[in-house]
Amino acid sequence: MRQNILFVCTGNTCRSAMAAHLAAQIKDRHLPLAAFRFDSAGLAAVDGYPPSENAVAALKEWDIDITDHRSKKFQSYMVERADLIACMTEMHKNAILTEYPETAGKVFFLGELSGSNEEIPDPYMGSLARYRLTRDVLHAEIQRMLEKLSETKGKGE
């Protein structure tokens, strides 16, 4: 059965956008039989904004093109579609749980899912080096999360 994973941050122009694209690459390269689908949204996002320049540049270095990404505001229909909501911070998780208590059991911050218990710091308006660091941390966290999930869920049909 396919598992729909939604990555959530604040504005959906940096972390969650990068996370969804990194997750797709990790799945394709390392877990090709896993049935995961990825999307992203932001709790304070405005629909239609492009990704930040440095997010584009950091992922382009890994041959990932996110130039077509457009920000999406987190909405109630996303709660219904997502099997798992992976937030960048505990604050994001708590905001979702407050507004959508029915998400208990499917909303976590990424560090909970990977086992690191670390939050993903926001690189917004930071240097390319800061975005590279965020990319690298996201990659490691997502890879651990997907490996754990693929042990029990997301197996190909």
pLDDT confidence of residue 1? 58
For residue 150, what are the contacts with CB-CB under 8 A and spacing of at least 6? 31, 34, 36
**Helix 53-60 crosses helix 128-152 at what angle (to 10 degrees)?**
60
What is this structure's pTM?
0.94
Average pLDDT, 10 consecutive residues per value, the chain (157 residues): 91 98 96 93 98 98 98 97 97 98 96 96 97 98 94 53
pLDDT confidence of residue 150? 87
List the catalytic residues: 9, 15, 122
Picking from 4, 2, 20, the residue whose alpha carbon sits closest to that of residue 135 is: 20
Which helix (H) or strand (E) is 107 found in, with range? strand 107-109
